[in-house]
Structure 1
Amino acid sequence: MKIQPDRIDTLAIQAHGPGWLHAGGQRYEHSVVIAASGVLRAWDCTRFEALTVEHFAQLAELAPEVVLFGSGPRLRFVPPALLRPLIERGIGVETMDTMAAARTYNILAGEGRRVVAALLIESGHG
Structure 2
Amino acid sequence: MKLQPDRFDVQAISGYGPGWVSVGTERIGHSVILGSRGERVDWHLASFEDLTPAHFARLAELAPEVVIFGSGDRIRFPRPAWLRPLVDRGIGLETMDTAAACRTYNILAQEGRHVAAALLLQQDG
User: Separation in 1 of the partners of 2:11 and 2:89?
Assistant: 24
TM-score by length of 1: 0.90
User: What code does the residue aligned with 1:92 have?
Assistant: G
- Listed as ranges, the gaps of 5+ residues in structure 1 are 1-5
- Listed as ranges, the gaps of 5+ residues in structure 2 are 1-5
Partner of 2:32: 32
Deviation at 1:31, TM superposition (A): 0.4
Please report the RMSD computed on the Cα atoms of aligned residues, expressed in angstroms. 1.2
Q: How does 1:1-126 map to 2 (within 5 A)?
A: 7-124=7-124
Deviation at 1:28, TM superposition (A): 1.0
Contact 1:7 1:112 in 2 (8 A): no
TM-score by length of 2: 0.91
Deviation at 1:16, TM superposition (A): 0.4
User: What code does the residue aligned with 2:52 have?
Assistant: T
Count of residue pairs the alignment pairs up: 120
Deviation at 1:7, TM superposition (A): 4.2
User: Separation in 1 of the partners of 2:39 and 2:77?
Assistant: 24
Deviation at 1:52, TM superposition (A): 0.6
Deviation at 1:101, TM superposition (A): 0.2
**Segments ≥4 residues shifted beyond 6 Å:** none
Structure 1 range deviating more: 104-113 or 19-28: 19-28
User: Separation in 2 of the partners of 1:24 and 1:116?
Assistant: 17
Among the aligned pairs, what percent are the same residue? 59
Deviation at 1:88, TM superposition (A): 1.1
Partner of 2:3: none
